[in-house]
């Protein structure tokens, strides 16, 4: 018996389409994407739906537990924690995404140029990066705080001053490997310029490590901002930052635990989601795992 064979066409998937399909198969990582979208949505909408502002003081309702009036409770000055938590999400997410983007932009260009040129220039550029990386991070923050004062701008400068070095090292390693491929030699033979080879052939093929490192850099920046604000070197009162809220609530943890629970839970949840997302993107964008 002859069984007819159906001619079905299976269109070839592009690199990004295949990566997206493999990413969706990771249910935990796919769920974290929605959790992060939920956090970003409430960072924008949360303070708008609340009847209170993040700095509004109500001494007659101080240290109230979560209730219908204050969904997350209130602090020692009667400020609504629901509003302050989501206002702090704006600051933390803004600093995390901005610092990570600056690190990626500068680190990618620096590492790619060093690896592509090679030789003594590569050696000098990477030794300079090593020197900057050896400077104590907290010392840089303290010096900038003394010179510029505390604030978001000081935090961003302090985090990006040496934060790009890790990205530069990763991209340098990728470019050193990619530039040995035959298609790079072919591009040189047909007369492609160095800029075209670097930005049209090399960097697009390193997009996987770039995106994965970007995603893993964001939680590091968020934690750094919270740590500096906790020490009093970051965002200052009355501005609401997760680090500031944790610092204010630490002394009252025994009697008013909700004041510490909500900002600490947000820091933990955000960092966990970004790390899970970064690990999943690293696996999904790995060309060796492509189907």
Residue 290 pLDDT? 58
Instruction: Please tell me whether residue 8 adopts helix, strand or coil conformation.
Output: coil
Instruction: Please tell me whether residue 87 adopts helix, strand or coil conformation.
Output: helix
Residue 2 pLDDT? 45
Determine how many CB atoms are found less than 10 A away from the CB of residue 83.
25
| Radius of gyration from C-alpha coordinates of the chain | 24
236 lies in a domain? yes
Which pLDDT tens digit goes with each residue over 45-69?
A: 888 888 888 777 888 888 888 888 8
- Segment holding 166, helix H or strand E: helix 152-178
Put residue 158 in one of left, alpha, beta given phi > 0 → left and psi -120 to 50 → alpha: alpha
60 lies in a domain? no
Q: What is this structure's pTM?
A: 0.81
Note down the domain range covering 148.
17-49+72-289
Decide: 26 and 287 in contact? Cβ < 8 Å. no
130 lies in a domain? yes
Degrees, nearest 5: CA angle 183-189-194? 80
Decide: 77 and 90 in contact? Cβ < 8 Å. no
Phi, psi of 80 (to 5 degrees): -70, 120
pLDDT tens, position by position, for the chain (291 residues)? Answer: 444 444 445 456 666 777 778 777 888 888 898 999 999 998 888 888 888 887 778 888 888 888 888 888 888 888 888 888 999 888 888 888 898 889 889 999 999 999 988 889 989 999 999 898 888 777 887 788 778 777 788 888 888 888 889 889 999 988 888 888 888 888 888 888 888 888 888 888 888 788 888 888 888 888 888 888 877 777 777 777 888 888 888 888 888 888 889 888 998 999 888 888 888 887 777 665 555
Q: How far is CA 203 from CA 17, 143, 152, in A?
A: 19, 35, 31
Residue 8 pLDDT? 47
122 lies in a domain? yes
Distance of alpha carbon 154 from alpha carbon 137, whole angstroms: 13
What's the length of the chain?
A: 291
105 lies in a domain? yes
12 lies in a domain? no
Residue 1 pLDDT? 43
279 lies in a domain? yes
Degrees, nearest 5: CA angle 155-157-161? 125
Residue 127 pLDDT? 92
Residue 147 pLDDT? 82
End-to-end Cα separation, the chain, in angstroms: 34
Quote the DSSP letter at residue 14.
P
Decide: 197 and 137 in contact? Cβ < 8 Å. no
CATH number at residue 26: 1.10.3720.10
Q: Pick from 169, 164, 170, 172: which is nearest to 116 by CA?
A: 172
**CA torsion, ordered 176, 110, 151, 134, to nearest 10 deg:** 70
Distance of alpha carbon 137 from alpha carbon 9, whole angstroms: 56
Decide: 164 and 103 in contact? Cβ < 8 Å. yes
Interior/surface letters 121-140, b for 16+ CB within 10 angstroms, e for the rest: ebeebbeebeeeeeeeeeeb
28 lies in a domain? yes
Distance of alpha carbon 95 from alpha carbon 89, whole angstroms: 10
Domain count, the chain: 1
């Amino acid at each position: 018996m002859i069984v007819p064979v159906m001619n079905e066409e299976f269109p070839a998937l592009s690199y990004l389409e295949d990566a997206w399909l493999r990413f969706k198969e990771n249910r935990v990582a796919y769920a974290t994407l929605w959790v992060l979208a939920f956090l970003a949505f409430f960072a924008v909408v949360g303070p708008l739906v609340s009847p209170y502002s993040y700095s509004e003081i109500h001494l007659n309702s101080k240290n109230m537990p979560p209730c219908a009036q204050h969904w997350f409770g209130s602090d020692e000055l009667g400020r609504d924690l629901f509003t302050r938590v989501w206002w702090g999400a704006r600051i933390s997410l803004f600093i995390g995404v901005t610092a990570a983007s600056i690190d990626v932009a500068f680190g990618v260009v620096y590492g790619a140029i060093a690896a592509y040129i090679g030789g003594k220039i590569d050696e000098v550029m990477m030794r300079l990066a090593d020197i900057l990386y050896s400077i104590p991070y907290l010392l840089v923050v303290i010096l900038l705080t003394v010179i510029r004062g505390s604030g978001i701008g000081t935090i961003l400068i302090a985090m990006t001053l040496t934060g790009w070095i890790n990205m530069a090292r990763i991209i340098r390693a990728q470019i050193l490997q990619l530039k040995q491929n035959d298609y790079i030699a072919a591009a040189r033979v047909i007369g492609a310029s160095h800029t075209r080879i670097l930005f049209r052939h090399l960097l697009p093929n390193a997009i996987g490590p770039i995106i994965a490192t970007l995603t893993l850099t964001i939680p590091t920046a968020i934690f750094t901002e919270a740590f500096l604000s906790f020490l009093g070197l970051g965002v200052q009162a009355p501005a609401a930052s997760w680090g500031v809220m944790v610092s204010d609530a630490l002394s009252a943890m025994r009697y008013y635990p909700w004041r510490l629970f909500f900002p600490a839970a947000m820091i933990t949840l955000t960092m966990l989601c970004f790390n899970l997302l970064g690990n999943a993107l690293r696996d999904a964008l790995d060309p060796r795992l492509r189907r």
